[in-house]
Amino acid sequence: MKGDILLRGGTLLDGTGAPAQTADVLLAEGRVVAVGQLSGTDARRVLDVSGAVVCPGFIDLHSHADFTVFSAPDALTQVTQGVTTLVTGNCGFSPFPVQPEHAEELRAHGGFLDDGLPWEWSSAAEYAEAVSRLPLGVNLALQVGHGALRIAVMGGADRAPTDAELTRMRDLLRSSARTVVGLSSGLIYAPGSYADTTELVALAREAAAAGLLYSTHIRNEGAGLLDAVTEALTVGREAGVRVQISHLKASGADNWGKVTDALTLVRQAQAEGLDVGVDQYPYTASSTTLTAWLPAWALAGGRQALVRRLDDPEQAGRMAAEIAGTVNRSFRPDRVVLADTPDGPYRHLVGKTVADAAAELGLDPARAVVELLRGQRGVLGVIHHSMSEDDVRTVLRDPEVAVASDGHVLGCHGRGRPHPRGLGTFARVLGRYVREEGVLDLAVAIRKATSVPATRLGWTDRGVVVPGAIADLAVFDPATVLDRATYTDPWQLSTGVLYTFVGGTPVLDDGHPTGEAPGRVLRPARR
């Protein structure tokens, strides 16, 4: 038997959850061609990986790399974790479709994520073509954001769509469906927060007809968590669509423990026949924009309208008054850290909590939020320390919950202090939660990062190591794999991954990036 690369003597965990076995893996022409005891095999290159784990490359179901891939297409932060595929367009954010009359609003919508997008496209297909020309170190699978669809048709309007507007959104979704694998919603973010369940069902029906996944950042992850999960399940039932509940968590100490009831709701729906999944990142802090704590009316019309309101003393005062009503409940200023912002008068406050920034500015916390956003023209990323470690472990232990990062950082250097999840999620699960703390069995952990997400997308030739599968693989040292990125020093690559193969081509070789660019934009699997 002949091949290109033979991985000799590794501990194979094939992604299915099956027990480990010592096995050789032969790669040829971008696929796995044989698995087992392959003595006498003729390969151009033989790698002795005895003592290392060989498994499918990790599939990150929840990424925002569509906003950062142009600045770091080699995706070094990902290949050093063994990640081979990123699913983008989550939380209602995508950089397409672009309609000229609302182009600036769309750019502002994802402005806190944008790291140098050229904005040279209008459609999903044109965006995919632009990305395909990059020297990609990993694969990308795209989703279209509900927020982006709404902006393309309605701008930042804080109302229900007319019948004609809803039809136009459905048309744009239908035209995107040839390129994307899913439709996402972000129901805490304007303009997605302005949509009611009826609108979501109408669009999800279009997604279902095209065989797409509906992934949702649900409407509330705090006191209203269970109602928000119920809404997501309702959309699934009424639209007949596959549902993915993104980054399940319970935010705020008063709500800790509710993840158990949320998982129960999901399991009950699955028992009734609903195709629904869940994903999670393994951290007790979230990351978002500081505008998430503004009242909905302040965000209507997009960022330019917000900036005008922030500059208006009367409206700014009204915002502060409404924010003050949430302090010490869903919003804890001592637990919200300024993470990233463009140059501006308050750039020097990155790394401080809102409470500390407020003290420095001589303002109460609610007024400080408004002033910080005014000074930074509405763009200010934050990290919110709001979750319970017990809840993280509860969700992580569920074997059907996919591991996902919710990250966007692809390069290993940049501005600010981004959430470490973009540089460490998968290594953190393997190093901390499997090896050090025994929260998960290694085979289960790998399944949660490989075949579970692949199944959500209808992929049968990814996420497993079997003959005929695409040769997206990771090889790591189970004794040393670990995340190194922290909240205070996030710009640190993970360690312990030895090889990462994308389509049979090594992008990480003995721990060193190769500069190869075998990644591509993956098209939807028709079910």
Phi, psi of 59 (to 5 degrees): -110, 115
Model pTM score = 0.97
Instruction: Assess contact for 477 and 56: CB atoms under 8 A.
Output: no
**28: pLDDT strictly greater than 90:** yes
- Reported as a pLDDT band with limits 50, 70 and 90, residue 330 is low
User: What is the distance between the alpha carbons of residues 458 and 310, in angstroms, rounded to a whole number?
Assistant: 45
Q: CA–CA separation, 224 vs 250, rounded Å?
A: 9
Band (pLDDT 50/70/90 cuts) for residue 332 is confident
The confidence score (pLDDT) of residue 415 equals: 81
The confidence score (pLDDT) of residue 342 equals 85
Q: How large a percentage of the chain has pLDDT more than 90?
A: 92
8 Å CB contact between 470 and 519 = no
Highest mean pLDDT among 243-252, 293-302, 331-340: 243-252
pLDDT in tens, 460-492: 999 999 999 999 999 999 999 999 999 999 999
Tokens of 321: 């008054």
Which residues face 116 on adjacent strands? none
Residue 480: predicted pLDDT = 98
Residue 408 has pLDDT above 90, yes or no: yes
For residue 199 the two structure tokens come to 């609108």
Mean pLDDT of 297-325: 92
Q: Are 169 and 161 in contact (CB under 8 A)?
A: yes
pLDDT confidence of residue 216: 98
The answer to whether residue 327 scores a pLDDT higher than 70 is no
Question: At residue 526, does pLDDT exceed 80?
Answer: no
Strand ranges (E), 128-180: 139-141, 143-145
For the segment 499-522, what is each residue's pLDDT rounded down to a tens digit? 999 999 999 999 999 999 999 999
Average pLDDT over residues 394-417: 95
Mean pLDDT across 272-281: 98
The pLDDT, as a whole number, for residue 30 is 98
Give the homologous superfamily in CATH for domain 58-284+388-455: Metal-dependent hydrolases (3.20.20.140)
Flag whether pLDDT at 329 surpasses 80: no
466: Cα separation from own chain's centroid: 27
Report how far residue 125's alpha carbon sits from residue 312's, in angstroms, rounded to the nearest whole number: 40
pLDDT at residue 41 tops 90: no
Average pLDDT on 247-253 reads 96
d(CA 502, CA 486): 27
Tokens of 409: 């950082």
Helical ranges in 177-312 per DSSP H: 197-209, 225-239, 258-271, 296-299, 303-311
- pLDDT of res. 518: 98
Instruction: Dump pLDDT digits (tens) for 369-384.
Output: 999 999 999 999 999 9
Write the CB contacts of 60 (distance below 8 Å, at least 6 apart in sequence): 78, 83, 85, 86, 87, 404, 405, 407, 425, 426, 453
Give tens-digit pLDDT for 133-170. 999 999 999 999 999 999 999 999 999 999 999 999 99
Look at 173-177, 252-256, 292-296, 333-337 and tell me which has the smallest mean pLDDT.
292-296
- The answer to whether 325 touches 294, Cβ cutoff 8 Å, is no
Find the mean pLDDT for residues 316-343.
Answer: 85
* Average per-residue pLDDT for the chain: 96
Distance from chain centroid for Cα 520:
18
pLDDT at residue 328 tops 60: no
Dist. CA 375–CA 389, nearest whole Å: 34
Mode of pairing for the β-strands spanning 285-289 and 276-280: unpaired
Domain boundaries, the chain: 58-284+388-455, 289-385
